[in-house]
Structure 1
């Protein structure tokens, strides 16, 4: 589990890389976690709830109060000064479980806050990863569009050569010119998409949208590695693991336990209490002074409070029912998240393999069509169709790569195991296959 960066920590200064530094996916995620306001907000919420636990613990301790009084009164035209001092110790000895129940509520709410923080960290992690791979996909799309533009320009050159030697027609030349212009337009559009993607990535990282960013090359995915061994299990087993590990499940369970402890607190609030009190007292009336010590037990029995306790218990029971329903809903949502993410990763894994063959055949088809046309035995439509199919295959390959990386991370988050080790494992697996 990735931990959020503690605001104000000195070991992680939350600084962007130098201008010549290249961001990899881990650097992007670390900076996003460090600067994202959602993680800072929930970190502060967790600190507030931790203070509430400490506050509940203080109920078990005695209190010590000091009191000083001074007054001046006139009695029968005579001024009388009065002074007094007292030191009082108060200690609640027995409350039949009210303090323990209140402490349990605070502890469970702290657990829920910590789990919610973990869930938010994973959500920010996934958002940063998606923004990173969307930007990488936009970079790859620009490269593919540039290659298509270059191929269209080569087709136009071939059409012009054939036209000059008399073996080509004006229609061939115009069609090639149109295809080249369209390829140029596509390249310009993809460059605009890339600039916008870089701006969105900078925003996720907590930087200004105009911040220049330089990214590492996107890691390739070998077809034989598309099915990750980490998830090559029965989906029912993954759902069971997710229900054990998901932070939002832990938060919902903790909130239910807090609500159940709230019932115990509401019931104990209507029970008797036994308190100890005592301390020295001193009083000066001018001519007379006195001092003494007192100690005693107070047994307090609530007799009638206008049905306050009854309705507090009913409200606490209703809150418990609400939390139980939310826990059931979360359990079902976890199963759905894992199921959809598992199917998406399975589809992406199969697509990875298919796009390899598709791209290879499209490249071969384009080379053959262009070679035939240059040799004077083909026509321009075959070339243009082959080049269009090649451009589509390149984009599908890019999208398949993006879908695989994002689907893998989405499934990890659905299970509750999304952290940096998941990203590092891809590099380790590739290194082991290619020593």
Structure 2
């Protein structure tokens, strides 16, 4: 009868724990945003440490919407610049790494916040304790007991160590976000530069192709005049030489174009055998970004450049680590509570049911650790000095890049008009020389010189356009304000 009653109590006790576990699991599944239960770490983000950008995605400066990922592209159609940027931002491995670093730092913030909460541990057991004696005068004993133990530890007061650690983690999370933005700016600059290089080299191929066509017409004209006896063979040979030289330049330009496309394919993160075509040239709109005062550019850089934001946050985190390290050597006050049922840790179970509860306050005073804290503090202070130097170097370097990019953009913008005038004049000069040569009023040398002048004018025009695109891009990237809307026009 007693055994049956004991078994019934055990089954009822186990059933109660099963109900409690089921209720806990149900609540956890409801709290888990992903809907998938991890039996060990069921809560997704209970302390709300992940920044909103994890859920919404990154919005670049000047843009209204986040970068759309995954990006899809039908490469049978020409590749627009906006499509190239979207593909690169979705496939870049460095961006994926910096994105993961944001999550790592968010986890570190969670660890710092968890230091303010109590730590609760518990254990359940079923123990069978049998004792047999070699002396037959003593009967063997057997005890079956359910055991339970629970411990609560809670640090109530310290000298600012937890607060400093938490603030340092928050600053490192800010630095991780800014570093991701810096990587975004570098990726944007690289892919747009590669796209513009492809456009430039394709324009060079087109210009060299037109030069070859002009050289062919010149050669045919020279052959026709030679056949009529109005021209010496030397003119035909000079025209043939000019055509061969122009053909070589066209082939080299084609090779440069193929290399530019291969670089672009690599930055897009698509298979290497992907065939890319670019849209036809359109009349560009040249916003006079370079005309803004240099002081304004530098002011915007000082405030908003993500690399400087990251460096400042890392410096603040290093300063907070000094406070956390200093606090580690100070006293702290903790609360502890324990519950024992039928046993204590490492002790035998009791023959009769018993419960024990303890509650206590503990003041821990570090006395001596072999000077470990002293050297940790010195190391933390040296980290602050290092981060200060890194910040100062970043400020000088970025300011220098902005100044150089501003000067290049201003110069390139001024050269655009001059190159357009030069190209128009070269076209007119060639047309006049061709008419004179056809009528016999000019020799082959004059015609070939005007052809070379036109080729040089085309090269200068292409160069000025490329310099403007590159300088404007570098200026926006140096300031850290490059977004997808900056190039949609």
Does residue 28 in structure 1 map to residue 92 in structure 2?
Answer: no
Question: Aligned pair in 2 of structure 1 residues 35, 45: CA closer, same or farther (>3 Å)?
Answer: same
Which residue does the alignment assign to 2:153? 90
The answer to whether the 8 Å contact 2:291/2:410 transfers is no
| Counterpart-to-counterpart distance in 2, 1:403 and 1:151 | 27
Q: Secondary structure at the match of 1:220?
A: coil
In structure 2, what is the Cα distance between the partners aligned to 1:138 and 1:335? 31
Q: Equivalent of 1:259, from 304, 314, 318?
A: 318
Contact 1:159–1:172, Cα closer than 8 Å, also in 2: yes
Q: Where do residues 183-262 of structure 1 align in structure 2 (5 Å cutoff)?
A: 183-221=246-284, 225=286, 228-262=287-321
In structure 1, C-alpha distance between the alignment counterparts of 2:423 and 2:458, rounded to whole Å: 6
Which of residues 327, 332, 337 in structure 2 aligns to 1:278?
337
Q: Assess, with a 3 A threshold, how the Cα gap between structure 1 residues 20 and 132 changes in structure 2: closer, same or farther.
A: same
Moved more, 82-91 or 351-360: 82-91
Unaligned runs of 5+ in 2: 1-57, 135-139, 344-348
**What CA distance in whole angstroms lies between the structure 1 residues aligned with 2:264 and 2:246?**
27
Counterparts of 1:384 and 1:123 in 2: how far apart (Å)? 45
1:340 aligns with 2:399: no
Deviation (angstroms), 1:156: 0.5
Say whether the 8 Å CA contact 1:199–1:211 is kept in structure 2: no
> Hey, which bits of structure 1, 4+ residues long, moved more than 6 A?
none
Aligned equivalents of 2:294, 2:149: Cα separation in 1: 70
Deviations 1:221-255 (A, max 9, x none): 46xx4xx4444222122112101110000000000
Distance 1:186 1:11 in 2: 41
CA–CA separation in structure 1 for the residues paired with 2:422 and 2:365: 82
What SS does structure 1 have at the residue aligned with 2:231?
coil
- Which residue number in structure 2 is paired with residue 291 of structure 1? 355
Equivalent in the alignment of 2:116: 60
User: 2:368 is matched with which residue?
Assistant: 304
1:291-320 superposed Cα distances (whole Å, 9 cap, x missing partner): 122111111110111112111111111100
Matched, 1:106 2:166: no
Q: CA deviation at 1:71?
A: 7.0
List per-residue Cα deviations over 1:326-345 (Å, max 9, x = no partner): 11111111110100100111
Change (3 A) 1:214 1:102: same
Cα 1:132/1:55, change in 2 over 3 Å? same
Find the aligned partners of 1:261 and 1:175 in 2 and give their Cα distance: 77
- Cα distance, 1:195 vs. partner? 1.7
| SS of match in other structure, 1:314 | helix
Alpha-carbon distance between aligned partners in 2 of 1:213 and 1:399, rounded to the nearest angstrom: 23
> What is the CA distance between 1:20 and its match in structure 2?
2.7
Deviation at 1:82, TM superposition (A): 7.9
Q: Is the Cα–Cα contact under 8 Å of residues 2 and 122 in structure 1 kept in the other structure?
A: no
Paired residue for 1:325?
389
CA contact (8 A) 1:198 1:209 kept: no
Shift in CA distance, 71/129, structure 1 to aligned 2, threshold 3 Å? same
Aligned position for 2:428:
364
Paired residue secondary structure (1:65):
strand
Q: Which residue of 1 aligns with 2:197?
A: 134
Q: Secondary structure in 1 aligned to 2:330?
A: coil
How far does the alpha carbon of each residue in 1:8-31 deviate from its partner, in whole angstroms, 9 at most, with x for none?
x9963232x223322111111111
Q: Whole-Å Cα distance in 2 between the matches of residues 73 and 314 of structure 1?
A: 58
Question: How many angstroms apart in 2 are the aligned matches of 1:345 and 1:53?
Answer: 42
Per-residue Cα deviation, 1:383-403 (whole angstroms, up to 9, x for no partner)? 111101111111111111111
| TM-score for both structures, normalised by structure 1 | 0.91
Q: CA deviation at 1:67?
A: 2.8
More displaced 10-residue stretch of structure 1: 186-195 or 345-354: 186-195
- What is the TM-score of this pair, normalised by structure 2? 0.81
Aligned positions, number: 416
Give the corresponding residue for 2:71. Answer: 14
- Secondary structure, counterpart of 1:85 in structure 2: strand
More moved, 163-172 vs 201-210: 201-210
> Which stretches in structure 1 are left out of the alignment for 5+ residues?
428-435
Shift of 1:97: 0.9
- After TM superposition, the structure 1 = structure 2 runs for residues 160-179 of structure 1, keeping only pairs within 5 Å, are 160-179=223-242
Counterpart CA distance in 2 for 1:238 and 1:12 is: 31
Corresponding position of 1:415: 479
Give 1 or 2 for the bigger CA radius of gyration: 2
CA distance in 2, matches of 1:157, 1:10: 55
Whether 1:41 aligns to 2:89 is no
SS at match of 2:357: strand
Residue number in structure 2 paired with 1:313: 377
